[in-house]
Amino acid sequence: MVKNNYSNKKEWSRLYFHLALLTPLSLTMLPNLASANMLSPKVLVYTQSIVQHNISGKVVDATGRGVSGVTVREKGGKSSTSTDNNGSYTLAVSSLNPILVFSSIGYISQEIAATSAAMVTLKPNEDILEEVVVVGYGNQKKTNLTSAVSQIDSKVLKDRPAPTVVNMLQGAAPGLVISRQSGRPGAQGLDIQVRGATSANGSVSPLIVIDGVISSEATFTALNPNDIENISVLKDGGATAIYGAQSAGGVLLVTTKKGQKGRNRISLMSNMAWQQPANMPKRLSLIDEMNYVNLGKINAGDAPEYNAEDLDYAVNGPTFVLGANNLWRTYNRESIIDQTVRKSYNLYNHNLQFSGGSDNITYMASLGNMTQQGMFKVGEDHFERWNARLNLSARVNSYLKLDLGSSFIDQATDNPQDGGYGIDGGGNGLLRQLYSSRMRFPLYNEDGTYYRSGTSSAFGYALLKDGGFNRDRSSTYFNNVTATVNNFVKGLEVKAMYSREDINRQNRNFRRTVTYFSGPLPTSATQLNNPNNYSITDYKTIRQNYQAIIDYDFKLSSDHNFHVMGGYQLYTYDYQTVNATTKNLYVNDNPSLNFTTDALNKSNLQLGEREKMQSYFGRFNYNYKEKYLFEATVRSDESSRLSVGDRVKVFPSFSAGWNMSKESWFDGISGVFDELKPRASWGKVGSKQGIGYYDFISQLLSKSDVVLGDVRQTYLYQDLLPAVGLSWETVETQNFGLDFSLMNRKLKGSFDYYNKFNNNMLVEVSLPETLGIRVPKSNDGKLKTWGWEAAISYNDKVGQDFTYGVAFNLADNQNKLVKYGGANDIINGGVNERVEGYALNSIWGYLTDGYFQNEAEVALAPSYKDFINKTGVPGIGDVRYKDIDDDKKIGIGDGKLSNTGDLVYLGDINPRYQFGFNVNMGYKNFDFSFFIQGIAKRKFKPSNELIQPLLYSYYLPVSFQTDYWTPDNRDAAFPRPYLSGDHNFQSSDKWFLNGAYARLKNIQLGYTLTKEKLPRLPFSRVRIYASGEDLLTFSKMGVFKGSIDPEMKTTDKNEPTRTISNPYPFTTSFSFGLNIDF
């Protein structure tokens, strides 16, 4: 068999390499530091004494208004003070002719002689006032922005022990929701959503645009966070309509770092993290497990499973006892989880960056590596990513500039081999086996062979270790060339761009036959992965963009400012996949597709998807003295996905704003507000969700399920009528916002309220089966989404050395399915994806009233026959459901909105009140920050496989389920143990948990030395830091805390229960890092 490439030796060698990298760098610093003046003893000789005296004055802004909170200090001295509410100050100085330094957030620092400091006028920092925000196909001054756009700075992504940039965006911007489904390296199931639901046909992800080029979510996830300059989140139609049919889910504009004119700079960033699984159920001891099973069987009217001898063996051993059938009776007491899962595992990040340039050429080049180990001790569980990037800009002459962006991403994921059972799903998924298979069944026999007893044992261990491999390899090549022509006509600029993204991915999956024994004789052998099989699947994706854009800025007089932009884009998409599979190989190691000769053992498959879209777009901006702002955009999209005659659709938007601070009368309230800008937008955007690549044409499928003359016959058939007249889902958006700043721009904030109306949502039409063919979707649905967002930040400094900043954002959204074909009134217990008149993924369940506590309560109980028709149910210790319709039985009625029986509406599973809280502080060379992210309202239900002990006889209890009802524990978390007691675990208010949480996403402490402050330092800058990720979580999970993560995303929409089942746990991480600038 192919051996595991990531053995302990290699893990230790990686650790040695990391330490070897850090140690010489640290040692080279020590001699210089030791000889530096700061470490040498000093003798201070005073030749004269200076008598302190006071200097008083006032600090005002350009309008003559006093500026409060300005730090005033004596240059070269230790004394400092701050101005009062009127801008006045008094400072004690010790020199005869002191120089005073005046500094404040939002203003340019000034050094002024004390003799001229009676009245000081601070000038605003133009970098702040002229802050530029990246928008669709261009940039705009933030002060002139009229739509809903959030900017995420690269500081959010700095020095964090997280595997992807998407992980780092949780809580970073209001309205941007990131969810995770798993903690598996390279397979987290990340989902990005902007402003809630857009369609009832699935999650509509935002459009990803990297350096002006449409890209994929997978490429964005794989970006090196150190290469990113900023990310703009476009949220309303006023901002996103310029991207038309692809922008209903919002737009993420990613700008990578560029070279800067100046000296050449080399930066080295190195980080090593230790990770631990954060939430895993804990197993019971064998004797406790057996006693629980016996009690559950007795309560269910069955005989106990274990007798006194079994219970004695469970405590005193031995592990193996030969039964009368020559099979082992086993009494394993070793933890299956401890034998399979690591206590801790590592994540490494190393990055090298080069930048610099001259007047005509600038460059930025980088190389990065991220390596993440998984939690399994055996088999393969590992992810590695390499990133390389070159951004080059060259001014050819005064008219022409060329920009080249080139990047390469190589990813390798060694997935655990699961034999087709899955890793973190239900059924016989590997983690389900670890959490709840029978503990008495060991992993190995006494002779070292694998033990297995049907599906009751943890047979997945052998699949992990010796069941083969499942490896993904992916390479992404991204190239972008832009030619910019300007300076030949004032205000006119022309850009031409071509880009190409190639993604080549290959999966190799080998399921090796594994042999198990349940007794000492060869006849007890059983096998899994029999016959063995091997498959290779190649995926190839090519995206190409051709763009031409003209920008023109001009003025009429000095007050009327205009900007006009027009462009053309051609986008092509080509996806191909080829699969070849062979089984019953005549070797069980080192597989090859050639290692079988029988054609019946071979199969192949080829699929392809292609799309072309051409677009014309434009933007018009006008402002009067930057006071009254107006913007209009329009885009016309034509797509090959739609039928001829229906391929073109136009997406317009309008937005306006009012910079009230520019008004002459604003001075009257300028003592409170520095800036105040109300704004509003309206737009139409589109979504391709639910539209196939070839739905508009008749398609033929093949089957081979007819036998004629003892020969299986292949035939062609049509399964779906062509979707003539089908169109994009069109979402109309409205946004009303307010931007403001106070206290000399130290306090800044914004608030937005919005509506989204999907007025022609795709609907699945159901007709009688006698038609003999499926009918296509139609644009007849309606969905409304509404919500609000708020963001506020405060930045200031205290004295000369202490700076701090605080930022908080909060967002909420709701939705309602207004119309969906008129037939969606079917109600089931649990999560219902689409019910007219209610939110998507609405929860319907029973109301509970504790447990039955005595026979008198049981005698009056309604019937539970719809759940389980068994004598003694309900009984004392069972969950007590409320008989809402008073019909003396618990049930769902007709299962329709007109008669839901005892089911009631319990809300929905959509997250509410998403928030992020960020604090950063700096004192001299130290910096400290922490970031908290969370959800204030959420409901979800763990799957019954995770919460119901003895769901089946081979689903064993875990530690958090031992808080069950007894006469002495009447308010327990769980009902009485009961084999297959489904009646106690129906969808109800009891089992839909409170998923609200607040998580310490990141905390960081750093120390920085610079050559300016320490001339003998061998580097221009060095920073040493410690950082933690997901270290603390505050929740109301009660007994489930520590076993189920409140952040965990529910299963895909194709899974009807929409529950959380046996997840691969998220991690908590702690890391040390070193950044060096040469």
Report the phi/psi class of residue 427: left, alpha or beta, with left for phi > 0 and alpha for psi in -120 to 50.
left
3-state secondary structure 398-450: CCEEEEEEEEEEEEEEEECCCCCCCCCCCCCCHHHHHHHCCCCCCCECCCCCE
Q: What is the mean pLDDT of residues 342-358?
A: 95
Q: Which of 234, 130, 144 is nearest to 631 (CA)?
A: 144
876-913 pLDDT tens trace: 999 999 999 999 999 999 999 999 999 999 999 999 99
pLDDT at 81: 83
pLDDT at 130: 64
Spatial distance between the Cα atoms of 743 and 896, rounded to a whole number of angstroms: 57
Q: What is the mean pLDDT of residues 341-354?
A: 96
pLDDT at 731: 95
Spatial distance between the Cα atoms of 986 and 663, rounded to a whole number of angstroms: 62
Q: What is the DSSP letter of 141?
A: E
Q: What is the mean pLDDT of residues 270-288?
A: 94
What confidence category does residue 129 fall into, taking pLDDT thresholds of 50, 70 and 90?
low
Q: What's phi and psi for 898, nearest 5 deg?
A: -70, -25
More confidently predicted of 698 and 993:
993
Element (H, E) at 168: helix 165-168
Spatial distance between the Cα atoms of 411 and 163, rounded to a whole number of angstroms: 12
More confidently predicted of 290 and 20:
290
Task: Say whether both 142 and 115 belong to one domain.
Answer: no
Task: Say whether both 103 and 141 belong to one domain.
Answer: no
Q: Which two tokens stand for residue 845?
A: 């369940």
Task: Say whether both 94 and 146 belong to one domain.
Answer: no
pLDDT at 16: 42
Domain encompassing residue 88: 53-126
Contact 955, 968 (CB under 8 A): no
Q: Is the dihedral of CA 884, 885, 891, 897 positive or negative?
A: negative
Residue 567 domain flag: no
Identify the domain boundary among 257, 282, 306. Answer: 257
Residue 843 domain flag: no
Task: Say whether both 180 and 229 belong to one domain.
Answer: yes
Q: What is the mean pLDDT of residues 856-867?
A: 94
Task: Say whether both 247 and 176 belong to one domain.
Answer: yes
Angle at 237 between CA 235 and CA 239, to 5 degrees: 65
837-856 pLDDT tens trace: 999 999 999 999 999 999 99
Q: Which of 236, 204, 176 is nearest to 685 (CA)?
A: 236
Contact 170, 930 (CB under 8 A): no
Task: Say whether both 71 and 117 belong to one domain.
Answer: yes
Task: Say whether both 136 and 253 belong to one domain.
Answer: yes
Considering only 11-20, 61-70, 1006-1015, 1031-1040, which range has the smallest mean pLDDT? 11-20
Q: What's phi and psi for 525, nearest 5 deg?
A: -70, 140
Contact 752, 788 (CB under 8 A): yes
Residue 610 domain flag: no
Q: How does DSSP assign 830-857, residue by residue?
A: EEES--TTS-TTEEEEB-EEEE--SHHH
Q: Edge-to-edge strand order for the sheet containing 119-121?
A: 88-93, 53-60, 119-121
Q: Which two tokens stand for residue 1054?
A: 């194709």
What confidence category does residue 831 fall into, taking pLDDT thresholds of 50, 70 and 90?
very high
Provide the number of structural domains found in the chain. Answer: 3
Whole-angstrom CA distances from 511 to 465, 591, 784 are: 12, 10, 47
Element (H, E) at 309: helix 308-316
Considering only 28-32, 261-265, 434-438, 445-449, which range has the smallest mean pLDDT? 28-32
Task: Say whether both 13 and 33 belong to one domain.
Answer: yes
Q: Which two tokens stand for residue 602?
A: 């071979």
What confidence category does residue 23 fall into, taking pLDDT thresholds of 50, 70 and 90?
very low
Distance of CA 353 to the CA centre of its chain: 26
Among all chains, which residue has been given the structure tokens 């201070």? 44
Considering only 84-98, 195-209, 533-547, 637-651, which range has the smallest mean pLDDT? 84-98
What confidence category does residue 28 fall into, taking pLDDT thresholds of 50, 70 and 90?
very low
Residue 180 domain flag: yes
Spatial distance between the Cα atoms of 171 and 155, rounded to a whole number of angstroms: 14
Considering only 235-244, 248-257, 856-865, 941-950, which range has the smallest mean pLDDT? 941-950
Q: How does DSSP assign 775-816, residue by residue?
A: ---EEEEEEEEEEEEEEEEEEEEETTTEEEEEEEEEEEEEEE
Alpha helices, H only, 4-47: 8-35
Residue 365 domain flag: no
Whole-number average pLDDT of the chain: 89
Query: Is the pLDDT assigned to residue 461 strictly greater than 50?
Result: yes
Distance of CA 826 to the CA centre of its chain: 33
Whole-angstrom CA distances from 125 to 109, 484, 683, 770 are: 9, 30, 34, 73
Task: Say whether both 78 and 60 belong to one domain.
Answer: yes
Residues 6+ apart with CB under 8 A from 166: 178, 190, 192, 220, 221
Element (H, E) at 1005: strand 997-1010
Q: What is the mean pLDDT of residues 529-536?
A: 96
Q: Which of 998, 1075, 1065, 981 is nearest to 1036 (CA)?
A: 998
Q: What is the mean pLDDT of residues 644-672?
A: 87
In 147-250, DSSP assigns E strands to: 149-153, 176-179, 191-194, 207-210, 213-215, 228-234
pLDDT at 1051: 64
Q: What is the mean pLDDT of residues 572-576?
A: 97
Spatial distance between the Cα atoms of 707 and 355, rounded to a whole number of angstroms: 69
- Work out the end-to-end distance of the chain between its first and last CA atoms, rounded to an integer number of angstroms: 47
Contact 561, 627 (CB under 8 A): no
Helix 308-316 to helix 286-299 angle (10° resolution) is: 160
Considering only 44-53, 404-413, 416-425, which range has the smallest mean pLDDT? 44-53
More confidently predicted of 35 and 722:
722
Residues 6+ apart with CB under 8 A from 862: 881, 883, 887, 888, 889, 890
Query: Is the pLDDT assigned to residue 88 strictly greater than 60?
Result: yes
Among all chains, which residue has been given the structure tokens 């208010």? 989
Q: Specify which residues 266 forms β-bridges with.
A: 354
Q: Which residue type is seen at 46?
A: Y
Spatial distance between the Cα atoms of 437 and 956, rounded to a whole number of angstroms: 6
Residue 1050 domain flag: no
Task: Say whether both 183 and 223 belong to one domain.
Answer: yes
Domain holding 207: CATH number?
2.170.130.10
Task: Say whether both 148 and 216 belong to one domain.
Answer: yes
pLDDT at 629: 96
Task: Say whether both 164 and 216 belong to one domain.
Answer: yes
Q: Which of 190, 221, 222 is nearest to 408 (CA)?
A: 222
pLDDT at 10: 45
Whole-angstrom CA distances from 792 to 132, 539, 736, 751, 789 are: 19, 45, 17, 9, 10
Contact 911, 1048 (CB under 8 A): no
Identify the domain boundary among 92, 111, 126. Answer: 126
Identify the domain boundary among 257, 285, 317. Answer: 257
Q: How does DSSP assign 257-301, residue by residue?
A: ----SEEEEEEEEEEEEEEEE---PPBPPHHHHHHHHHHHHHHTT
Residue 894 domain flag: no
More confidently predicted of 271 and 823:
271
Rg of the Cα atoms in the chain: 33
Q: What is the DSSP letter of 1052?
A: P
Residue 445 domain flag: no
Q: What is the DSSP letter of 872?
A: T
